[in-house]
Structure 1
Amino acid sequence: MPKRQHQASLDVVIIGAGVVGAACAYYAARTGLRVAVVDRGPVAGGTTGAGEGNLLVSDKGPGPELDLALLSAALWRELARDLPREIEYEAKGGLVVAADEATVKALRSFAEGQRAAGVDAVEVGPGELRELEPHSAPDLAGGFLYPQDAQVQPAQAAARLLSASGARVHLGEEVTALLRGPAGEIRGVRTARRDLLAPAVVNAAGTWGGAVAELAGVTLPVLPRRGFVLVTEPLPRVVRHKVYAADYIADVASGSAALQSSAVVEGTPAGPVLIGATRERVGFDRSLSTEALRRLAGQAAALFPVLAQVRVLRTYHGFRPYLPDHLPAIGPDPRVPGLLHACGHEGAGIGLAPATGLLIAGALTATNPPLDPAPFDPSRF
């Protein structure tokens, strides 16, 4: 049996090489901390690699998550300037559409609350909607344009943030234990190959964040919520914005375990159109759901009739890390000194990653946070 390596002189070990873990590494390293990242798979091998890259404020009502999203939106714009081509940042804007006047009225009320929190929301009528999206269905009643919505290529964003952090990265190494001191404090992590010694460990393991918490003897009720995405053949830019039906907002906020689907349609720089989004709690069942795919295709064609004749080249799916109150767990765990959590973002992890990383870096260095971290306190569970 090969001798286990010991790596000291670290300030923090981050478990998880998805976009949240990468953002934690990036912002922690910017404070001067010595960082290592460990993951049982490749970079972006979990939820990040199965995401669309949504950076949304449009689907969030006033409250802590929207505050986190607005901060992240500003940070993503900074990152796009610092890491321009690699992350494929596209400030395309979001367009939420309504099928009838009653839904337009509900969106109007929702947008009023968002504006008070700092969101730019612009109402558009049916004629303006067709100008913004010429291929959209002609019978839509209107909608709202959200210029702050954007997109990145999630796997590339995670890889670039990790690279820019300068962190030591150990891939293909599952953490089998958290090392503890005599008072139960964190001393690092153990894999089959090495011990990484550090006084702080960040649990950024996404959907598997609950399992990492169990290694420390604590409970964090992270559950997987499965979602599918359709990918079409390459097309001219028939979809200009990130376009979704109003019922997507309700699906995001729902705690139902049943299959829910609401069309989110967007073009990509490479040509294919991405079509999401479904949600269902089925554990880690990776089997294909033809019902989910059928619903997505039908709902997308209802928004953009031109898509009815387009070929779907492939589908993919992943698991969103869901917490019961729909807020991520970010910050120190008071039950285990030196343990911090950065997981449970559900489908918003890519969008919320930079602000999460900034909060974690602040907690690690005992500096004033950029916003109130109390709503994300892991001890609330």
Structure 2
Amino acid sequence: DAHDLRARARWQREEGHDVAWLEGAGVRTVEAALAPEWGAGLHLPDHARVDPRRLAPALEAAVRASGVDVRTGVEVRSLVRSEDAVTGVELADGKSIEADTVVLAAGAWSGGISGLPRRLPLRPIKGQMLSLALDRPILGGLVAGPGAYLIPREDPDGPLMVVGATMEDAGFDTATDGSSIDGLRSAAEALVPALAGRPERERWAGLRPALPDGLPLIGPDPELDGLVYATGHHRNGILLAPVTARVVAGALSGGPPDSRWAAFGPARFP
């Protein structure tokens, strides 16, 4: 509601972000396709978006070009340890890979890897999404509202509107269901009436790694030398990837721990 939006605007301004409070017709001066009943909102002109399906292969190509050995379709079953230090990982086929340092970044599956020095109370949170095919672009940027957020994207086959996302504590199930998809579509059409009747291009579901306190798990383990965590980011894995990379790189380089990140460390899970 408006009270929550104003509170959000205040703390974002305090953090130095460019935030504009819009009311009435001002909302549609930014996004003309929004339904007329939406009479207030926040505009974040510096807000950006990225397509994870294009980002992931670009990152893979970049690290390969840097000489990194990338192995796909390989399942890690367990850490290999010698006393209080990591010495590598054991794969599902029984083979081992030696390593002085292991970064645990297995998403919702991180807690299922054997040999960890602590129990990780991770659980998968399912998110269903869909995309709608468009004749022309409708929005200039991301729009978030009750029940859905809308992300305009360009595709080789034409413009798309990505609609997300559900939040379901459903284990490791990644099936989609008509009721949830219909709910997302209805919420999207309430935000932008021009989406009504647009053909569905695709529907899918993914799993977000969630921890009980809602915070990610980032940084070195204090009890097992060579183990660094980068997991538990829930809905913000892509968004927090750059800062996570900086924290992990600092841990890998052997520099002193940064106290600013202590709240995200593994010590909170004894």
Q: Distance in 2 between matches of 1:235 and 1:228?
A: 24
Structure 1 runs, 4 residues or longer, greater than 6 Å off? none
The aligned length equals 262
Q: Larger % of helix: which?
A: 1
Deviations 1:280-314 (A, max 9, x none): 10101233222211211111010001111211122
Change (3 A) 1:216 1:105: closer
Give how far 1:141 is off. Answer: 1.1
* Aligned-partner SS, 1:151: coil
Q: Distance in 2 between matches of 1:152 and 1:110?
A: 23
- Could you tell me whether the CA contact under 8 Å between 1:104 and 1:141 is conserved in 2? no
Change (3 A) 1:239 1:368: farther
Which one-letter code corresponds to 2:153 in the other structure? T
- Could you tell me whether the CA contact under 8 Å between 1:240 and 1:266 is conserved in 2? no
Task: Show structure 1 runs of 5+ residues with no match.
Answer: 1-102, 248-261
Q: Distance in 1 between matches of 2:115 and 2:47?
A: 37
- Could you tell me whether the CA contact under 8 Å between 2:174 and 2:207 is conserved in 1? no
Identity of aligned residues (%): 34
Please tell me the root mean square deviation across aligned C-alpha atoms, in Å: 1.8
TM-score (norm 1): 0.65
- Could you tell me whether the CA contact under 8 Å between 2:230 and 2:244 is conserved in 1? yes
Deviations 1:203-250 (A, max 9, x none): 0001111112x33252111110001111111331112110011x5xxx
Which one-letter code corresponds to 1:138 in the other structure? P
Q: Distance in 1 between matches of 2:53 and 2:258?
A: 26
* Aligned-partner SS, 1:134: coil
Q: Distance in 1 between matches of 2:184 and 2:219?
A: 36
Q: Which residue of 1 aligns with 2:28?
A: 130
1:292 and 2:154 correspond: no
Give how far 1:368 is off. Answer: 5.4
Which one-letter code corresponds to 2:169 in the other structure? R
TM-score (norm 2): 0.91
1:380 and 2:265 correspond: no
Q: Distance in 2 between matches of 1:359 and 1:129?
A: 38
Q: Distance in 1 between matches of 2:257 and 2:267?
A: 18
Which structure ranks higher in relative contact order (CA pairs < 8 Å, sequence separation ≥ 6)?
1
Give how far 1:200 is off. Answer: 0.8
Which one-letter code corresponds to 2:130 in the other structure? L
Deviations 1:328-352 (A, max 9, x none): 0001112322111100000100010
1:149 and 2:47 correspond: yes
* Aligned-partner SS, 2:176: coil
Change (3 A) 1:114 1:264: same
Give how far 1:119 is off. Answer: 2.3
The aligned runs of 1:213-362 (5 Å cut-off) are 214-245=114-145, 247=146, 262-270=147-155, 271-362=159-250
Q: Distance in 1 between matches of 2:9 and 2:257?
A: 27
Q: Distance in 2 between matches of 1:156 and 1:123?
A: 32
Q: Which residue of 1 aligns with 2:69?
A: 168
Which one-letter code corresponds to 1:199 in the other structure? D
Q: Distance in 1 between matches of 2:143 and 2:201?
A: 20
Q: Distance in 2 between matches of 1:239 and 1:371?
A: 41
Give how far 1:150 is off. Answer: 1.3
Q: Distance in 2 between matches of 1:151 and 1:357?
A: 18
Change (3 A) 1:274 1:284: same
